[in-house]
Every structure is written in structure tokens, then in C-alpha cells.
Amino acid sequence: MEENRGGHGLTEGRILSVWMILFVALVLLPSVFRVSLGISHFYVKILIKILEWATLQIEEGVKKQKAMALENLISTGIIQRDETPMEEEVVGRCRGCFSLADVMYFSKKGCEAVAEDEVTRRFSSEELLSWNLLSRTNANLHHVSWKLAAVWVTGILIRYCLLLPLRICLSVFSILLLVLATTVVGQFPNGRVKGWLSNQVQMICATLGIRCMSGLVNFHNRENKPQQGSICVANHTSPLDVLILASDGCYSLVGQVHGGLIGLIQKSCMQTSQHVLFERSEMKDRHLVRKKIREHIADKAKLPILIFPEGTCINNTSVMMFKKGSFEVGGTIHPVAIKYDPRFGDAFWNSTKHSMMTYAFNVLTSWAIVCNVWYLPPMVKEEEEDAVHFADRVKAVIAARAGMSVLPWDGGLKRKKVKESFKEEQQKKYCQIVIENGSVGNGNVC
């Protein structure tokens, strides 16, 4: 009996030793030196082949009428909108005078907004052009053929039984490493050594964090990377945005103080780096925010400051209104465009629907997180250009590079109602149309 127990213990020890060697050789050391062994690229190539095969199986197995239903299911909207602006439709009907038919224009726009407005769609998961063998679909596509069903079940077993435990262990290790390493580095006196160690710890932990999700990040135009004493602005899809950018460079962050897991990470990073964090009540004090940002970028020895001007996560299809605060402080703006590939997993975090832990579970059970990052040429505010127009110009550049649509709406509409000023703006626009040519006051009615 004792010999059997000793044999089992020896076998378990060997297995654990093999796992530790593989972890150090394939994960830890490449993360420390920030090199890629090509494993993620190979894994993603296999996934692409499987997804292409699954798409062909669906196209062959679904009949014509069901294919039409599938096409409707994956369309980007449930209604077809008439994008004719108010000026063309109202003025074209009867120039310079009031018409009772104008009521139909506003009624139609109201019905379109009730059925599906262009804002709230940006706060739900991005629609896929083809099924990615995950569960985010209303169609039981795995019933199309037994081959597809077998691959789907195999994928579930691989993601939940093999990848998930490994990813959880690696995530816990990364967080513990960050907490312990920042605690140790935080004891060093301020200086170059502490700054260098802090940067290395954050970049290594960020790289490990990406490995937790089988992540593959393609960086483009690294010659445009933000420099010290500048402001980096990017579109915002997920908390992973910070992790992805931090794996390629160090930043000081501007954001709201969080609790829970994100709060733990924030407190750890604050021990070694200077970040600009605010309580929720302070975020409303724009003068205080601008003052702290201006003080930070005035010191050219400090890290570039990273800001997400949208203020909330958008679903990887659009770039919404950039708040003007970060464009009023002066300095050079370095735009960065981030675009996730939705075929391998949904990176969008709907904070109004999912908690941080639920979101983390969804990410860790996806196939992978794949994205592209473009460093765009630096931009400065032109003479006689106000902060609003400068913010819109930067937003348009980011959206164009990432292939996203541009929306003028405030991302705060995720949690708030439309401001009265927006309604008044539409009313003023209509009044301006009606009073043309002096129709109001002359009794002109069409």
C-alpha cells in the first residue's frame, strides 16, 4: 500500500513539474520578454478554418426560406430607415410655409425611434455576419447537421473543460503577480529605477492578461506611439482596452475610482505609477478634471495620459460623442483606434446588464480575443478651432481608421435620458425652416 501511495505521489509530482516547466517556457518567459512563440497565431488560424467550414455547413443545410430568416436575423437593424434630413423633406414639400403634412415626418421619425433607435443599439452586442459556434444567437444552428452539432459540442468541452480552468489559473496568477510586484516596487524610493521597474511590471502583467484570453493583438504604425507629456485618446469598447494598450506601452490613466476587482487592480497600480483617478462626484467637476490633466502633461517626465473621451463602453460598431474636456487642456493628442474581431468573442462590456465577474466569465469562455490597434499621427488643435470641433475631428479620424460609424450622441444616454437641449435644437431647426421667406406672419399655410 505504501509503495502504491509513493508511486502515485511520484507520478503526480512529475505531472506537476511538467506543467510548471511548460507554463514557464510557453507563457511566463515569453511574457517577460514580450515575444510571441506563434501559438496564438496558429490557434486563431485553426479557428478561422473551423468557422469557415461551419458557415459552409449552415449554407448547405439550411433551406432557402430558412436562409432568408437567417439573413434577417443577422441584419444590422429591424427596420429600414429613411435618412433624408429634415431640411430636404420638409422644405421639398412646401418651401417656406407651414404644412400639416409636416406632422407625418415627425410621426415617422418617432415610430422609427420607438422601434429601433440608433443609440441603444450601440449598447448591445454586435451582430455577427455568421455563427461563431458560441451561444450568442437565437437560431438553433447546431441542429443543421450532425457534423456541425458534433463540432459545437466539442467546442463547448474544449472551452469549458480545458481552456477555462487554464485561463482562470493564469488570471489569478497574473493578478497576484501584479499585487505582489507593485507592493514590492512601491517600497523603492522615487527615481529612474522605480519608474523602470514599475513599467516592466505593468507591461509583463498586461501581456500575461492577454494570454489569459488566448489574445492576439496586431499593432500598426508603432512609429506614432504616444510620447511622454502627451495625451492619448482612444475609442472605448471594454476594460480590455487598457490591458491591450498597456501590453505595448505604459500610460497614466484618467478614470473613475472603482470597487471590486477593478478597484484592486487600480490600487495596486497606484503604488508604483501616477494616475488621475476621481470619485464619481468629482468627475462632474470639469474644472478639477482639466486642472489635474493639465498638471500631469506639464511634466514631460511623466507617462502619456490615456483617456477614453466617450466615457462609457460602446459595442465595437460606432464611435460616439467625445467629451470636450480632454481637448481643452492643450498639448498634443495621439489618437488610437481599437477594433475587435467579433468572430472569436464578444469584447463589449454592457455594464448596465452584466457585472464585472459575469463579463470576465463570458470573455474567458470565448474562443479568443482578437483585435487590431492603430497608432494614428499626432494631432493638435488648429487656430480658432474650439474644443468641440477638435474633438469631432479626432473622433472622425479614429472611426475612419477602425471602419466604424460616427454618431453625435452622448454615450451617457446608456444611463440617462435625452437632454432637453437636444429636443429644443430640433424644434429650432424646424422653426427656422417655417419662417423662411416670411411665411409666418403672412398667413401662409399649405
Q: pLDDT grade, residue 221 (50/70/90)?
A: very high
pLDDT number for residue 87: 57
Give the residue from 420, 396, 426 showing the smallest Cα distance to 408: 396
Q: Is 445's pLDDT higher than 60?
A: no
Burial (CB < 10 A; 0-12, 13-18, 19+), residue 402, is buried
What does the block give as the cell for 105?
Answer: 415626418
Query: Which amino acid makes up residue 423?
Result: K
Copy the grid coordinates of residue 119.
443609440
What is the structure's pLDDT at 438?
Answer: 47
Please state, in angstroms and rounded to a whole number, the distance separating the CA atoms of residues 34 and 224.
20
Q: Span 182-203, mean pLDDT?
A: 88
Q: What is the pLDDT of residue 246?
A: 92
Residue type, 432: Q
pLDDT of residue 6: 55
In this predicted model, what pLDDT tens digit does every residue of 72-101 receive, in sequence order?
444 445 555 666 666 556 555 555 565 656
Task: Determine the average pLDDT of the residues in 377-406.
Answer: 92
Instruction: Give pLDDT, residue 396.
Output: 95
pLDDT of residue 92: 55
Between 408 and 341, whose confidence is greater? Answer: 341
- Predicted confidence band at 280 (pLDDT cuts at 50, 70, 90)? low
Tell me which of 131 and 404 has the higher pLDDT: 404
pLDDT at 60: 74
342-357 pLDDT, tens per residue?
999 999 998 888 888 8
**277 vs 93, more confident:** 277
Q: Which 3-state string (H, E, C) describes 58-127?
A: HHHHCCHHHHHHHHHHCCCCCCCCCCCCHHHHHHHHCCCCECCCHHHHHHHHHHHHHHCCCCHHHHCCCC
CA 224/CA 72 separation, integer angstroms: 41
Q: List the end-to-end C-alpha distance of the chain, in Å, as a whole number.
A: 102
Cα(139)–Cα(73) distance, integer angstroms = 8
Whether the pLDDT of residue 63 is over 90: the answer is: no
Phi, then psi, of 216 in degrees rounded to 5? -135, 115
Q: What is the mean pLDDT of residues 394-398?
A: 95
Confidence of residue 220 (pLDDT cuts 50, 70, 90): very high
Asked which of 17-31, 154-168, 202-216 is least confident by mean pLDDT, the reply is 17-31
Strand 405-406 to strand 333-340: parallel, antiparallel, or no bridges (unpaired)? unpaired
pLDDT exceeds cutoff 90 at 69: no
Please tell me the distance from the alpha carbon of residue 163 to that of residue 421, in angstroms, as a whole number. 50
Residue, of 308 and 410, whose pLDDT is higher: 308
Separation between Cα atoms, residue 242 and residue 313, nearest integer Å: 12
Strand boundaries in 158-247, DSSP class E? 216-220, 231-234
The per-residue pLDDT for 234 is 95
Q: Quote the pLDDT of residue 361.
A: 93
Compute CA 177 distance to the chain's CA centroid, rounded to the nearest angstrom: 25
Choose between 373 and 328: higher pLDDT: 373
| pLDDT score recorded for residue 322 | 92
Based on the number of CB atoms within 10 Å of its own CB, is 31 exposed (0-12), middle (13-18) or buried (19 or more)?
A: buried
Measured CA to CA, the distance from residue 100 to residue 103 in angstroms comes to: 6
CB 340 within 8 Å of CB 236: no
| 200-209 pLDDT tens trace | 988 999 999 9
Residue-level pLDDT at 23: 75
Q: What is the mean pLDDT of residues 310-315?
A: 88
Q: What is the pLDDT of residue 117?
A: 64
DSSP 319: E
Instruction: Supply the pLDDT for residue 103.
Output: 66
Looking at the chain, the whole-number percentage of residues with pLDDT higher than 70 is 75
Residue 25: pLDDT over 70: yes
Average pLDDT, the chain: 79
Judged by phi (left if over 0) then psi (alpha if -120 to 50, else beta), residue 191 lies in left
Residue of higher predicted confidence among 346 and 443: 346
* Whether 58 contacts 131, CB under 8 Å: yes
Task: Tell which residue, 260, 254, 296, 302, has the closest CA to residue 277.
Answer: 254
> According to the model, what pLDDT value does residue 254 have?
80
Whether residue 296 has pLDDT greater than 70:
yes
Q: CB neighbours (10 Å) of residue 287?
A: 8
Please work out, in degrees rounded to the nearest 5, the angle formed at the alpha carbon of residue 118 by the alpha carbons of 308 and 243: 25
User: Looking at residue 374, what is its pLDDT?
Assistant: 97
pLDDT at 136 over 50: yes
Q: Identify the pLDDT of residue 111.
A: 64
User: Which DSSP symbol is given to 189?
Assistant: P
* CA distance readout (Å), 326 to 40, 151, 288: 36, 48, 12
